[in-house]
Every structure is written in C-alpha cells, then in structure tokens.
Structure 1
C-alpha cells in the first residue's frame, strides 16, 4: 500500500508546556482527496490541524508529506514543502485589495505568478470583478474566497482549511464546498475542519470524528453518515 500523501500519525501534544490536547490522533489523506475532521466543540479539531501544520509541539508522533518526515519543520518550511493553511479568522489583509492579497500569497515564489492569479479568478469569478476593492469591504463568503485563493497562490500540494464555511449563509456554504471539490479534482490534497458536519461529510472521501483529542470514528464520508451512533451523537440525528 502506498503511503497517503499527507499523514499526521499518532500525534500527541498541546500548546507550550500545557496539558496534552491531542492523544494519539492520526489523520491521513490521499492525493487529490478530501478529508474532513468533525466532532464536538473542544474536541481538538483545530488543534489537530495546527499540529499537522507545525503550530504546536508534538510530544510524540510524526507528520509526513509525500513520504518525507516534516515533524520538526517550522510552518514556514512546511509551506515551502507544499502546505497551505487557511485559519478560521484573521485570514486576509483587510486594507489591501483582493489582488494584493493574492500577490502576498505568492511571497515565496520567484516565477511568473500571473497564470496562478488567473486560475484563482477562474475558480472564484467574483474576485476578478472585485480585484481592485479592499478585501475588508467584501462579504464574509467573498473574504473566505480571498483567503482560499491566497493559499492557492503558493501552488500547494496540500490545502488545509479551518472552518471554511463559518458564519456564511447556506447558499454560500454550498458554493464554497463546490469550489473545494474543484480544487481537489485538480489534484490538490485537502484536509479541513468543519462545523457543518453533515454537509462536509457529503463531500468527504474520508471523515474523522475526534473526541477529546483522539480518534473516535474513522471512515468514508458515506460510512460515517450511515453510522447510527455517529448520526445520533454528532450529526443531530
């Protein structure tokens, strides 16, 4: 069996010298597939995502991308290895225009970034229309599109999204999920945390239910949706 493109394996750790939040948590996702992390509030979902991105110290476990161990790399070095992370909040430069935000996403690149900007505009046409507008003036859904677009400017092999549909309307949520599917079809691996668990599992190749920083249930999105216990406990029946 080939190793998944991204794997955080048996991760245990927390912030600084505080107590462990993750307890042997494992997350993996194959190339071009979508893995979704769901679970109750305080389950460690965002912490698990940050652990994969190198934002907290693991006391045990490892993180690998494309078979390479990156456990001890900084977040900046992980970006250079092909990771892009979109946090839930403070994920745009509000005073900069949409296009300036996208250009900031390409800060590590030394090649021509115009074709990638055009790809982002093709994915999110509204951003082309608003490219000269300050990003902070946009709607919540449009700001999320800027944040995802800026992450894509690094030409990542892995895109990590923390609550991408938080605070947006159901129509905008469906549209964002459609765009996420498009990104995955282009061969980019996606790992995301999502509060809208039922809708997220509908698009997930793999789903992880975390409880108290540990794996409680793992399966395909369809398997988790069909599991009576998961439905009753985590999906509202």
Structure 2
C-alpha cells in the first residue's frame, strides 16, 4: 500500500479546475518525481496533496487514512513534510533556529534529529550560527530540507528543490535525496530538470494539463520515445 496517495484529484483555485482526475502516489523509501511542461499542474498537485488546495473531487490518503479534510499543519502532525520552492527559510534567523522551528510541533527531545540533519548536511553544522539569508542558494535549500526533516516525516515533499542552483549543487542535492529515501522516507518531488530527476526516480509521473499522461518507472519513462520527444526535448 502506498504511504501517500492522492487519488483522482480534481480541483483548482476557485475558478476553472487545474487538476483533472490526477492520481499521484509514493511508497516508503521510494523517490517519486512529477515532471511535465510549465502549467501542467505539477505544483498544484503537490499543494493539493498537502492540503493547500481544496479538492472538488478525489481523496488524499496517508497510510490508508483519509486526510482530505486535514489542514496542512495537521498533515505535518500526521507525518508529512513539505518544502516549497520559494520563501522556504527564515532569512533573519540562524541555521540552527530554522531547524528548531521545524520541531515546533514536537514535545520530545529533538536533538538526535538535529544531529541527523547535521550529519546529512555537514555545512549546516559549520554555519549553524549564521543567518540563513546569508547562505548560498544550495545551502538555503539544505536548511529548508533539514527543517522539514526535523518534523520526522514519513513523506517528504519537495517543490523544485534544485531551482536556481548550479549543476554541481543539483547533483549534490539529488545525492542527499537518495540518502534520505534510503532511510525509509518516501520522497515526492516536482522537478523542472526532468532528465536528471527521472534518473534517480523509482517512479515518475508525467503531467500535462492537470492530467496523468504517463506513469512508469523513471528508467522506463526515460526510454519511452514519446516521453523523450514530447517532454524531454528528444
């Protein structure tokens, strides 16, 4: 059974629907990637899964539990972490304060989780007293991912995690995403760098106009001539 599934999701932002019967799922320890052209509904699907967009039809389930009516905050409590594409760090707060904010819903000792984050992203330990706004783009992404991990999520959702970073930093972030998934956390991400993302994906979803056009393993999608021609530039 999928840890998280949004099934036949239909909805939008108050006017016309953007999603049309879209289904997205991810299993524990799996990397699932959503790709497609601009305006395909990729980020909208993520927001619907996280409760930031009301659904007119469809259902979201976490470990089989219907969470369609839950608020984003309650979804975090239930085991979901979400890293938005922009404004994903508190710029005036230090790195360590940002990580502590990720644990604001927890009542237990979170120091072990913080050590895990520092082990995953050693540069953050080095810069833990530095304001997050002074970091490079790639380092800020590490802070944002680390803060989400502080909630101890079962599902980590990433919206364009490599936007605006260099190819070297992108490869480093993807390596860390693989490491996080290997720990048993389900990873669901939207990514414009479709080829690179599908290379590390266990499962891929190609969306167009808010609908599922192709669903397969990352390897199979990369080898599909129609996917390559229509969505990967040949």
- Quickly name the TM-score band, shorter chain normalised: over 0.9
Q: Which residue of the partner structure matches residue 183 of structure 2?
A: 186
Residue 89 of structure 2 corresponds to residue 92 of structure 1? yes
Q: Distance in 1 between matches of 2:120 and 2:15?
A: 41
Q: 1:7 aligns with which of 5, 15, 31?
A: 5
Provide the TM-score with structure 1 as the length reference: 0.98
Q: 1:36 aligns with which of 28, 33, 36?
A: 33
Provide the TM-score with structure 2 as the length reference: 0.99
Q: Distance in 1 between matches of 2:19 and 2:103?
A: 32
Q: 1:118 aligns with which of 115, 120, 129?
A: 115
Q: Which residue of the partner structure matches residue 57 of structure 1?
A: 54
Residue 50 of structure 1: SS of its match in structure 2?
Answer: helix
Measure how far apart 1:18 and its partner are.
1.2
Residue 17 of structure 2: SS of its match in structure 1?
Answer: coil
Q: Which residue of the partner structure matches residue 142 of structure 1?
A: 139
Residue 9 of structure 2: SS of its match in structure 1?
Answer: strand
Residue 58 of structure 1: SS of its match in structure 2?
Answer: coil
Residue 217 of structure 1: SS of its match in structure 2?
Answer: strand
Residue 191 of structure 1: SS of its match in structure 2?
Answer: strand
Measure how far apart 1:233 and its partner are.
1.0
Query: Which runs of 5 or more structure 1 residues have no equivalent in the other structure?
Result: none
Query: Which runs of 5 or more structure 2 residues have no equivalent in the other structure?
Result: none
Q: 1:228 aligns with which of 225, 229, 233?
A: 225
Q: Distance in 2 between matches of 1:24 and 1:33?
A: 23
Q: Distance in 1 between matches of 2:163 and 2:51?
A: 23
Moved over 3 A (4+): none
Measure how far apart 1:236 and its partner are.
1.1
Measure how far apart 1:68 and its partner are.
0.6
Q: Distance in 1 between matches of 2:103 and 2:227?
A: 40
Q: 2:157 aligns with which of 160, 183, 194?
A: 160
Q: Distance in 2 between matches of 1:68 and 1:178?
A: 31
| CA root-mean-square deviation | 0.5
